[in-house]
Amino acid sequence: MTSKDDDRHPSPSTPLTKPSCGPCAAPRASYAEGAAATGAHERTVARRVERMLGTGRIRFTASLLHEYIGTGVAAQLAIRCAPGHLHDTARALARRPDTYSVEVATGPAAVFVELTVPDHRELLSVVDGPIAGLAGVVGVETQLLLTLLLTANDWAPYDDEPTAVRRAVSQGTPLPAPLPTDELDEQLVALLKEDARMSTTRLARELRVGETTARRRLSRLMGSHVLHLRLHAEPEVLGFPIEARFRLAVPQRGLDATLRALGREPEVPSLALASGRYNVLDYSSHRSMEELHDFSSRAFGAADGIATETALLIHSYKRAGATTL
């Protein structure tokens, strides 16, 4: 007889439900906290999460968001490739340590890349050198990310309330002030990248600081919006197999209203202001093509003077700094 808390070994292709992915959104939460938040039995939560971690369906990632703390130059590249070169180009770009995401999508600019480099001189060197020199690359369009508004930290499709950052964007109020970070913070985040659930005792030992200091530093980072400490999983695993990139050319007079409206859309996990004609970069995730159509009609149908370029994602080679080849 199957116990009431048995999750019956779901197929690897089964999308996660709220009881499954709820605790994953808070990597350092205990299984008891996850069970209380989702209404599932603690053993079910532990068994399901550990199995998905073991099979690679999910993993946790940690990084400091350079766009928020103002270190380095973040850019998005839209790369056009000659026929037959998409796969090899995307793989080569995903192997670069300075790239954060690499995706192949529909449209003339078939490979989209997000990367961070130390300064503008290095950006020119990277784009005009090793990237432009890849076999099959026939064109590169570069946009600087000027203001990062929403990230995957703010995408919680099963939560009832928006994050503080999403609420601020949707209301048009200023984002929280960036948190100053130092070398100890960077070392702590590097340890969390290895193991997001590493105990505070071990963090303190690895950092060679007192446990109180480690706990205070961790709490400070987790209470800010500069630390990306989240579940890493392809959106289809969460039940959102359709992903799209939107590049919007928004007149200045309608920019604030457009950003507020997009901030209210739960399907939008990423939103940024960028240089160039397409001054708003938007990323959306959906359960079906019908939902994508409804979103597009709702978000852009009545917009005045906005030019929209849409690209459907075909395959992700790197996401949140983790390769998914």
What confidence tens digit (pLDDT) does each residue in 67-119 have? Answer: 677 678 999 999 999 999 999 999 999 999 999 999 999 988 789 999 999 99
Q: Do residues 287 and 306 lie in contact, with contact meaning Cβ atoms separated by under 8 Å?
A: no
State the pLDDT at residue 179. 81
Beta bridge partners of 182: none
The domains of the chain are located at 18-57, 180-223
- Mean pLDDT throughout 5-20? 45
Phi, psi of 135 (to 5 degrees): -60, 130
The topology under which CATH files domain 180-223 is: Arc Repressor Mutant, subunit A (1.10.10)
- Write down the pLDDT at residue 261: 93
**Banded pLDDT at 12 (limits 50, 70, 90):** very low
pLDDT band at 11 (very low <50, low <70, confident <90, very high): very low
If you average pLDDT over each of 29-43, 179-193, 199-213, which comes out highest? Answer: 199-213
Greatest CA span in the chain, whole angstroms?
66
Section 122-149 average pLDDT:
95
Instruction: Locate all alpha helices (DSSP H) within 14-119, ordered by sequence.
Output: 18-21, 31-38, 42-55, 66-69, 86-94
pTM of the model: 0.80
2 falls in which pLDDT band (50, 70, 90)? very low
Residue 63 confidence (pLDDT) above 60: yes
10 pLDDT more than 50? no
pLDDT value for 5: 42
Burial class for 255, CB neighbours closer than 10 Å (0-12, 13-18, 19+)? middle
Q: Reduce the secondary structure of 246-271 to three states and give it as a string.
A: EEEECCHHHHHHHHHHHHCCCCCCEE
